[in-house]
Each structure stands twice: as structure tokens, then as C-alpha cells.
Amino acid sequence: MPDSPIDPYLPQNGNRGYSVERYALDLEYKVQSNRLSGKAVVHAVATRSITKFSLDMGPALTPSKVSVAGMRGVRFTHRGGKLTVTLQRAIDEGASFTATVAYSGNPAPIRSVWGEVGWEELTDGALVASQPNGAASWFPCDDHPSSKAAYTISITADSPYHVVSNGTLTRKYVKSSRTTWVYDQPEPMASYLATVQIGQYEKHRVSDSPVPIDAVLPARLRENFDHDFGRQQQMMETFVESFGPYPFESYSVVVTDDELEIPVEAQTLSIFGANHCDGDREYERLVAHELAHQWFGNSLTIARWSDIWLHEGFACYSEWIWSESSGGPSAHQEATRAHSRLSSLPQDIVLGDPGPEDMFDDRVYKRGALALHALRRTIGNAAFFDLIREWTTTFRHATVATSDFVGLAKQYGSTDEFWESWLEKKRLPRLP
């Protein structure tokens, strides 16, 4: 009997039989020809005895060699978005193994019901925006949020280009006209949050406290950036006070030279388009939203996409917390307005299980934020923020489910009836 899907929202994604502990990616990219060649070393542990395993790998990439340390006669096939590896002898349950995949291709986004996701060419560079299933567009992986691993990512590109990836830049060296950038991300990371950003950018430090914050962007946008993103230190301070310690060593914001429809979430960094940096500070709520994802989405990551409100509802509510903290409308004013707007829209979404077609619907984001505000109004301000800080501490760098949050929230005074009305009913509840 074949394995059932890991997640019915993405039935083709994710793989059984092993758990990845670390990816080591050694990549070389040529901007002008959009040519990527790489070697992916996957360190994993077998969760059952296996003689065959698969990795998600997009159709634009071609594997040239696959090996498993200590094994002879390894065979592989690549079709239907899966790289399937067959072994001559079994790997025992609980045993560690290392698979190495050499590959190349002209990376392209993966088509999905949510549009094209993954590796994208820019006018002069590249970006990666993989949510929810685009990681396989640029490296072979177990592409599902419940599969979190550490990463080392090395990228070589032509020297005029600045390369950004997740975590800390641990090494940078020049050879001939090419520069190699090596990043280390020791905290567990879901594959869709892994990223590479390449462009003719300049980097500068925005703030050293409470954590280092860096900006990477075209020189022409510096003045607008300093205004539009100028309150990031205060934003970070507000969120650290509200949510608990920032979960990583540093934070970076990349602004591309191209326009982007929406900002991009990645672990330890966020990516905005030039259009979000217009000198009017009109997109500051999005700056807050993406920063909040470092706690809600990156440190605490859902195991199944049906629980996406735990990412987007929290990030949306963080916009209102920042507004309240920075002298704008209070969270209650923002919630009242959002509730009024949602009341006039079709009420045909269940927040706790919106379905794959609607999981990125703005109504999920806003209704998730409203559920949190209703919780805050129900249990009180002090208890609410104590709950959030316990939530981020208890599940730091882990995978989470709605049941985890509801169970914790009940300890602070919420009821089954409250959660049933907000998570299981289509009709929008009243705000307390």
C-alpha cells in the first residue's frame, strides 16, 4: 500500500523513510545565462528500514550523479518532480546516511495553484521565493514545512554581484572574477524558507541592538530606504518585548532593484521590491509583518499547511501591535475596521482548515489576526502577552499545530467554545 500524503494540501510534496538533519549546498550561478550547477549533500537519519528514498527536485534541474556514502550500485530516476534513489542494500532504521546529488540546469519557478514559486530571474540577478513548495526549483530536498534542518549554503557568482542567503556569512573569498559566499544557518529551517538573493547590491548596518540588523539594496534606493525602513530598531524592540527574544543571531532586509508584487519571507531575512521603498513609508505595515514571521513561521513553523493562520494571523496581528506601539491606530481600532470589512465579504472560509486554494486568501490573514485580538480581549492584556511569550519559548525552533496553541491558550482562560467559533465555523464571530 503506498504511503498516504504527508499533507493533503500538497499531496506530491514531502517524503517518508528519513529525516534530514543538515543540507550542505555548494552552488555556482551565472547570472547572464541563468545557469545553476550544484552539489547537494543531504545528511539524514532513516526513520524505518529503507532500500529506496525520494527527494523533491524540480523538472528544470538535471541530476548527473547520485551517491550514498558507503554504498555501491546506487541507481536513480528523476521524473514527476521526484528524484528517487534505489539502493542495493537497506539502510537500517535509526542509521545515519549521507546522500550527495550533483546537478545543473536553468532554474525556473515551479507552477502551482498559487502561481509560480521558487527561483526567479530578475532584470540583473535572481531571487528565491519558495512558499509553499518552490524549494525544489533550486535544490533536491524534502520540501515540506514539517521537515526542518540546519543548512550550509555556498554560492559562487560573478564578483560584481552581492549574494545573500540564510544565517550568518562565515566566509567570503574571491577567485579570478568570481566570489564565493558561504552562509551557515544552524537553527532548524523549513525548506521553503531557504533562499538565495543575488543582485548588484550594497550592504550597510541599520542597528546593532537588540540584534544586528543589516540592509542589502541598490545604492539608488538608500535614501528612500533610510526613511521607509527607518524604524526597524524600534520595531524589533517592540516585538522582543511582546513576543520574547528574537530567535536568531541577526536579521537582514534585502530590497531588489525590480518591483515585487508582495514581500518575500525567509529565515533571518525578508525581501522587498523597489516599489516597497518609495520614500513615503506607506508599506511599513509590511515591514512589521515580515519581521514578525521570524517568530511566527520561521522559529515556530507549522507542520501542516492547514494551520497557516498560525503564521499569517500572527504576522498580521503584529502589524496592529506595531501600529499601537508606534503612535498609530490601536490594535482594537485596526481590529474593528478589519472586522467590519470581513463582515461584508463572503463568509465561506474555515480559519482552522481553509483549503489549499484559499490558504493565502487575505481573509485567512485578517480573521487569524481577529481571533488573536478576540483572545486578547477575552483573557486580558497581561495574560495574552504572557501566553505569546510562553508560546514562542516552549516551541522555539520547532514545528507546531493549532492544537498546540489552543491547548496552551486554555491554560490562560480561553474555552473550547471560543476556539470552536473562531476556528471551526464559517460565520465570523463578534469581537468581544
Domain regions of the chain by residue span: 18-110+128-195, 202-292, 302-424
Residue 4: pLDDT band with limits 50, 70, 90: confident
Average pLDDT over the chain, rounded to an integer: 97
Give the residues across from 119 on adjacent strands.
128
Going by their DSSP bridges, the two strands 96-105 and 61-68 should be labelled as antiparallel
Q: What average pLDDT score do residues 77-86 get? A: 97
**375 contact partners, CB below 8 Å, separation of at least 6:** 384, 387, 409, 414, 418
Judge whether 18-110+128-195 and 302-424 match in fold.
Answer: no
Q: Is 145 exposed, middle or buried (0-12, 13-18, 19+ CB in 10 A)?
A: buried
Residue 3 confidence (pLDDT) above 80 = no
Give the residues across from 163 on adjacent strands.
198
CATH class of the domain at 18-110+128-195? mainly beta
Q: Domain 202-292 belongs to what topology?
A: Zincin-like (3.30.2010)
Strand order in the sheet with 202-207: 202-207, 213-217, 251-255, 269-272, 264-266
- Render pLDDT for 354-365 as a digit per residue (tens, 0 to 9): 999 999 999 999
Residue 245: predicted pLDDT: 98
Residue 2: predicted pLDDT: 55
For 302-424, CATH gives 1.10.390.10
- Render pLDDT for 312-330 as a digit per residue (tens, 0 to 9): 999 999 999 999 999 999 9
- Measured distance CA(13)–CA(10) in Å, rounded: 6
Q: Which of 15, 303, 271, 7 is nearest to 140 (CA)?
A: 15
Angle between helix 362-379 and helix 331-343 axes, rounded to 10 deg: 130
Residue 1: predicted pLDDT: 38
Residue type at 257 in one-letter notation:
D
Intra-chain end-to-end CA distance of the chain, in Å: 49
- 334 close to 376: Cβ distance less than 8 angstroms: no
Residue 279: predicted pLDDT: 94
Name which residue leads in pLDDT, 44 or 115. Answer: 44
- Render pLDDT for 290-303 as a digit per residue (tens, 0 to 9): 999 999 999 999 99
User: Cell numbers at residue 212, please?
Assistant: 544586528
- Measured distance CA(44)–CA(55) in Å, rounded: 12
Phi and psi at residue 284, to the nearest 5°: -65, -30
